[in-house]
Structure formats: C-alpha cells, structure tokens
C-alpha cells in the first residue's frame, strides 16, 4: 500500500500571542481532523518522492484550491484539512 507524507503549511500568522476566537475554532477543527484521520497517518524519516508528484491544497477564503498530484486517496483526506494549506507527497519505497 502506498504511503504519503502530509506537509502542513501555515498561513504566515504569528501564533505566539493569545489565539483569537477564529484561531481557536481552527485549532479545534484541526484536532478533530487528526482524531478522524490519525489512524491513516504514520510518522518516520522516510524519503519523499519529488515535488512534481505533490498534491497541494490551499485555503483561499472559504474555498479549497487543489493543485493536482496523481494520488486520489490522499487528496480526498486532505480536502477535509481545516487549516490553511497542506502538501501531500508519496513516500519513496524501497
């Protein structure tokens, strides 16, 4: 079975201060996302495939923009990511 690395992209906002109510909601949504999708995620130090194989999803306003990569099952999980952006790349096998 193919494995993927999810690279979470931030929105460039400094989160060192007290979070706003909107940020608190995003944090709560991210926590729920990890509860639902955590069993699909493995961590390690595996080598990634090249960037040309990546799927990138960015949030622009209320829309999610998907920049295609070839891995449909990873894209479907990532479309539900409540944070700013995410890049998905396959892990090099072998």
Q: How many CB atoms lie within 10 A of CB 90?
A: 20
CA 79/CA 77 separation, integer angstroms = 6
Q: In whole angstroms, what is the distance from residue 11 CA to residue 59 CA?
A: 9
Q: Is the pLDDT of residue 41 over 60?
A: yes
pTM of the model: 0.58
pLDDT digits (tens, 9 = 90+) for 46-64: 788 887 888 787 777 777 7
Which pLDDT does position 32 carry in this prediction?
92
């Amino acid at each position: 079975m193919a494995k993927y690395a999810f690279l979470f992209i931030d929105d460039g906002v400094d989160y060192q201060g007290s979070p706003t109510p909107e940020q608190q909601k995003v944090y709560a949504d991210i926590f729920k996302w990890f509860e639902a999708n955590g069993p699909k995620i493995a961590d390690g130090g595996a080598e990634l495939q090249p960037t040309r194989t990546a799927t990138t999803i960015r949030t622009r306003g209320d829309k999610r923009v998907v920049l295609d990569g070839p891995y449909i099952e990873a894209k479907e999980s990532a479309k539900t990511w409540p944070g700013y952006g995410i890049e998905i790349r396959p892990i090099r096998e072998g």
